[in-house]
Chains A and B, each alone.
Chain A
Amino acid sequence: MVTRAVMAAVLLSAAPARPASAPVPREEYEVKAAFLYHFAHLVEWPAPTLPGEPFVIAVVGHDPFAATLEQVLAGKSVRGQPVHVEPFDGAADQGDARIHVLFVGHGVGDHVRQALAAVAGQPILTVGDDAKFTDRGGMIAFRITSAGRVAFDISLQRAEQTGLRMSSQLLKLARIVGPAR
């Protein structure tokens, strides 16, 4: 694993980084949408689920991803909770419902820090489309490997501080960043 992680790091540094302004292919969004949905199954939230409570995924920024996400997750549910995709309104509670996942899209600039600050300490899984999202205080950051495959980094410590528990099945696929457990 160590060797693999090091190799991945080497490859990543060697690969030319995609400019922030470049458009992201729709296919990649579909993959990420699916990943996001799978994350929901491999993460445990500390608070008990109330009956009829939706599984809320809040999206920060005007990102074409939000639309894709809605399409991919339409009619799906997580642990019996119907998935709701909503734009983030700046608070941990979206109206009546709690937020489970906060997705931060590309090119949102300062909004990233504001959004993360709004949910800091809360058991909300923060996922960013920026490879440096974990450096900025997020839990999971999507990145593209040198082979063009979508991969992700996880700041395990940050996630666990909020009471979220991540499945080993998820962790073994991720590159763990930040301080070690």
Chain B
Amino acid sequence: MKAARWLADLPIGSKLTLLAGAASAIALLVSSAAFIAYDRATFDDSTVRRLSGEAAIVAANSATAIVFRDPEAAQVTLAALAAERDVTSAVLYTMDGAIFATYASDVGTRDPPRAPSDAFAGHAFEKGQLIVHRRVMFEGAPVGTLVMRDDLTARWERLRRYLATVAEVSLAALLVALLAGRLAGRAISAPILTLAGTARAVSERNDFSVRAVPRGRDEVGVLVATFNEMLDGLQRRDAELRRIQAELEHRVEERTGLLREAEDANRLKDQFLATLSHELRTPLNAIVGWTTLLMQGHLAPEAATRAVTVIDRNARAQTKLIEDVLDVSRIVSGKLRLNARALDLATVVKAAADSVAHAAGAKRIRLKLLLEAGTALVSGDPDRLQQVVWNLLSNAIKFTPAGGTVTVQVEQGRAA
């Protein structure tokens, strides 16, 4: 479990390196083991054959020495085995089992090879040694037995050399495999790392405009291409979202403006209504007051006349006010109709001035008209225009201190 986890956490490069190394190591081990086993079998075979041949020659050359009972001669024949490094000892036995002659390069270190049992002939591997037996024949009859012992030094030497070579080659192959694995790993993991870096950039900075650079058309290349396509989609959607968001904000702003406007309008309307009520009540106060006095019948005739005049003026003023309110209502509902015709502005201003002359006189305000008859001929609705001018003059008189002057001047301006 731990190993699996460790393997899972290992970078791809290291995984590939490990894989390459393990694969080559296993291949080398298996093939080396097979080769060594095969070679050993072959080598043993050839050793047996060589030694058997050797034994045959020595036995043939020893036959007469045995029959003529000349151990010294046999000794000389056996001594030739010194050329065989691995033959450590050889013994010639006579048929009655007595040692006839011996040769030993391992004198004193080991007992001579045992006398053969009759049943045994040929060779045997025992205790890391090869024992070869050979009957010594003279004229078709056995006269003795040659026993040779080979301590297989060459075999162990060869095995050691093989193992050393295998170790060297394995080490070299392993290094090459590791290098190849590292290179392959880099080739594979580098694009993935680049891709991961791009993905991180995207997730950290929400920047959908970056793109991973494709390096090839392998699996990783496909992944990179797909990733980029995904980014395309994300970028499009992001842009769309931003656009919609901006639009919504704009709309909200718009709505907020409208709302404020509506609120303003409402407030103005309230203000207007308050003002209107006040304006409508002012003349009514006078009318109601004087009417009450009249009805009590205690007024002198001059006072009654004055009362009726005040009532009349205030009733007219209120009528005018109501007409104005109706006009405003008409303007709002678009029902106001202007009767446009050619008119002289001076006439209109003079008419308006006449209608406020009384009010001006009451405050000792001097109305100064600077008019040139016939100079201001325009097209318009004379009643409305007169109304506008009257409004202006009324306000002017209202807010001018007593004894002041209100000047009305009509002059021809430059046509726009």
Cβ contacts under 8 Å, A42 to chain B? 64
Q: Which of chain A's residues have a CB closer than 8 A to the CB of B139?
A: 38, 41
* Of A34, A149, A151, A172, the contact of B67 (CB 8 Å cutoff): A34
Binary contact track B53-87/A, C-beta < 8 Å → 1, others 0? 00000000101110111101100000000000000
Beta-carbon contact of B69 and A149 below 8 Å: yes
Taking a contact as CB atoms under 8 Å apart, the answer to whether A150 and B69 are in contact is yes
On whether the beta carbons of B65 and A173 are closer than 8 Å, the reply is yes
Residues in chain B near residue A170, CB distance under 8 A? 64
Which B residue sits closest to A41, measured CB to CB? B139
Query: B67 to chain A: closest CB distance in Å?
Result: 5
Find out whether the CB atom of B61 lies under 8 angstroms from the CB atom of A169: yes
Nearest CB in chain A to that of B139: its residue:
A41
Q: When chains A and B are docked, how far (Å) is the Cα of A151 from the Cα of B65?
A: 11
Q: Hey, which chain A residues are within 8 Å of B138, CB to CB?
A: 38, 41
Instruction: Say whether A4 contacts B72, CB under 8 Å.
Output: yes
The total of Cβ contacts below 8 Å across the A-B interface reads: 30
Chain A residue at smallest Cβ distance from B71: A149
**B69 contacts across to A, CB distance below 8 A:** 31, 149-150
Residue of B nearest to A152 (CB): B68
Closest Cβ of chain B to A67, distance in Å, is 22
Bound-complex Cα distance A35 to B138 (A): 12
Q: How far is the CA of A20 from the CA of B48 in the complex (A)?
A: 53
Q: Which of A130-181 contact B (CB under 8 A)?
A: 149-152, 167, 169-170, 172-173
Closest CB of chain A to B77's CB: distance in Å? 9
Q: Is the CB of B70 within 8 A of A173?
A: yes
B72 near A38 (CB under 8 angstroms)?
A: no
Query: Which chain B residues lie closer than 8 Å to A150 at the CB level?
Result: 69
- Decide if A151 touches B63 in the complex (CB within 8 Å): no
What residues of chain A lie closer than 8 Å to B64, measured between beta carbons?
38, 42, 167, 169-170, 172-173
Q: Which residue of A lies closest to B61 (CB)?
A: A169
Residues from chain B with Cβ under 8 Å of A34 in the complex? 67
Give the number of chain B interface residues (Cβ < 8 Å).
12
Chief secondary structure at chain B's binding surface: helix
Residues of chain B with a CB closer than 8 A to A151's CB: 70
Report the minimal beta-carbon distance from B65 to chain A, rounded to whole angstroms: 6
| Chain B 120-167 residues near chain A, CB threshold 8 A | 138-139
Closest to A31 in B: B69
A35-B72 contact in complex given A169-B61, A169-B63, C-beta closer than 8 Å: no
Residues of B within 8 A of A173 (CB): 64-65, 68, 70, 73
Task: Please report which residues of chain A, range 27-47, place their CB below 8 angstroms from some CB of chain B when the two chains form the complex.
Answer: 31, 34-35, 38, 41-42
Chain A residue at smallest Cβ distance from B72? A4
Q: Which residues of A contact B61 (CB under 8 A)?
A: 169
Q: How far is the CA of A172 from the CA of B62 in the complex (A)?
A: 11
Q: Can you name 5 A-B pairs with beta carbons within 8 Å?
A: A35-B67, A38-B68, A167-B64, A169-B64, A172-B73
Q: What residue of chain B has the Cβ atom nearest to residue A35's Cβ?
A: B68
* Bound complex: CA A89 to CA B119 (Å): 49
Interface string of B93-104 (1 = CB under 8 A from A): 000000000000
- For B69, the closest partner residue in chain A by CB is A149
**Cα distance A35–B69 in the bound complex, in angstroms:** 9
Question: Which A residues lie within 8 Å of B63 (CB)?
Answer: 169
Q: How far is the CB of A11 from chain B (nearest CB, A)?
A: 12
For the complex formed, measure the closest distance between the CB of A121 and the CB atoms of chain B, giving whole angstroms: 28
The smallest beta-carbon distance between A71 and chain B, in angstroms, is: 18
Of A31, A151, A172, most B-chain CB atoms within 10 Å:
A172
What is the CA–CA distance of A103 and B259 in the complex, to the nearest angstrom?
Answer: 160
Q: For A4, list chain B residues within 8 Å (CB).
A: 72
- A173 and B76 CA atoms in complex are apart in Å by 11
Chain A residues within 8 Å of B68, by CB: 35, 38, 152, 173
For the complex, what is the distance from the CA of A41 to the CA of B67, rounded to whole Å?
11
- Taking CB as reference atom, which chain A residue is nearest B65? A173
Closest Cβ–Cβ distance, residue A167 to chain B (whole Å):
8
User: Would you call A38 and B73 a contact (CB within 8 A)?
Assistant: no
Chain B positions within 8 Å of A169 at CB level: 61, 63-64
